[in-house]
Chain A
Amino acid sequence: MSDQSSHNPKTASEIASHVEEPSQAELHTHRRNAFAGLGWARDNLFSNIPNTILTVLSVALLVWAAPPLLDWMLLKATFLNEDPAACREAGGACWSFVTVKHRFILFGLYPYDEHWRPLLAMALFIAALAISCDSRFWNMRIVYVWGLVLPVCGILMWGGWLGLTFVPNDKWGGLPLTLILATLGIVLAFPLAVLLALGRRSDMPAIRAICVGYIETVRGVPLVSVLFMASIMFPLFLPEGLTIDKLLRAQLGIMLFTAAYLAEAVRGGLQALPKGQYEAADALGLGYWQKTRLIILPQALRLVIPPIVNQFISCFKDTSLVIIIGLYDLLTTAKTALADPSWRAFYVESYVFAAFIYFLFCYFMSRYSQYLERRLNAGLRR
Chain B
Amino acid sequence: MSQPAPKTPWWNDRANRAILYQVAVVGLVVLAGWYLISNTLANLAARNIATGFGFLVREAGFAIGESPIAFDPADSYAKAILVGLLNTIVVAVLGVILSTLIGTIVGVARLSGNWLVSRLATVYVETMRNIPVLLQLLFWYALITEGLPEPGDAFKPIEGVFLSNRGLKFPTPDWSGLEWLVLAALALGVILAFLLSRWARLRQAATGQTFPSIRIGLALTLALPLLCWLLIGAPTAFDRPQLDGFDFSGGHSVSPEFVALLTGLTLYTASFIAEIVRSGILAVAPGQTEAALALGLKRGQVLRLVVMPQALRVIIPPLTSQYLNLTKNSSLAVAIGYPDLVSVSNTTINQTGQAIEGVAILMAVYLIVSLAISAFMNWYDKKTALVGR
Contacts and interface: CB of A to CB of B under 8 A. Distances in A.
**Direct contact, A vs B (beta carbon within 8 Å):** yes
A217 B356 contact: no
B39 A217 contact: no
A49 to B, nearest CB: 12
A317 B133 contact: yes
Most buried by A among B116, B334, B349, B370: B116
How would you classify the secondary structure of chain B's contact residues: helix, strand, loop or mixed? helix
Interface residues of A, number: 58
Most buried by A among B110, B132, B355, B374: B132
A210 B366 contact: no
B72 to A, nearest CB: 27
A58 B117 contact: yes
B131 A359 contact: yes
B180 to A, nearest CB: 36
A363 B126 contact: yes
B304 interface: no
Interface in B337-357: 342, 349, 355-356
Contact of B366 (A26, A58, A220, A347): A220
A222 B134 contact: no
Most buried by A among B1, B113, B331: B113
A366 B271 CA distance: 13
A178 B118 CA distance: 33
A224 B332 contact: yes
A26 B118 CA distance: 12
B127 A324 contact: no
A206 B18 CA distance: 10
Contact of B370 (A22, A219, A355, A363): A219
A290 to B, nearest CB: 14
Interface residues of B, number: 58
A309 to B, nearest CB: 13
Contact of A206 (B25, B113, B324, B362): B25
Contacts of B142: 347-348, 351
A32 B114 CA distance: 16
B43 interface: yes
B129 A366 contact: yes
Interface string B130-145: 1111110011001000
A326 interface: no
Contact of B29 (A44, A210, A219, A317): A210
Given A207-B22, A320-B134, A331-B134, A359 B116 contact: no
Contacts of A54: 112, 114, 116-117
B356 A236 contact: yes
Given A228-B359, A229-B363, A240 B42 contact: yes
Contact of B21 (A207, A223, A224, A324): A207
A220 B42 CA distance: 29
A239 B44 CA distance: 11
Interface of A: 21-23, 26, 30, 44-45, 47, 51, 54-55, 58-59, 61, 203-207, 210, 216-217, 219-225, 228-229, 232-233, 235-240, 282, 313, 317-318, 320-321, 323-324, 331, 347-348, 351, 354-355, 358-359, 362-363, 366
Nearest 5 pairs of A and B residues by beta carbon: A220-B370, A362-B130, A44-B115, A222-B328, A206-B22
Given A228-B362, A229-B359, A351-B139, 7 more contacts: A54-B112, A54-B117, A207-B22, A221-B366, A225-B331, A324-B334, A351-B135
Interface of B: 1, 18, 21-23, 25-26, 29, 36, 39-40, 42-44, 46, 110-118, 120, 126-127, 129-135, 138-139, 142, 278, 282, 324, 328-329, 331-332, 334-335, 342, 349, 355-356, 359, 362-363, 366-367, 370-371, 374
30 contacts: A30-B115, A44-B115, A44-B116, A58-B114, A203-B18, A206-B26, A216-B371, A220-B324, A221-B328, A221-B367, A222-B366, A223-B328, A225-B331, A225-B363, A228-B362, A232-B356, A232-B359, A236-B40, A236-B44, A240-B42, A317-B132, A317-B133, A320-B135, A324-B334, A331-B134, A348-B139, A351-B135, A351-B139, A358-B131, A359-B131
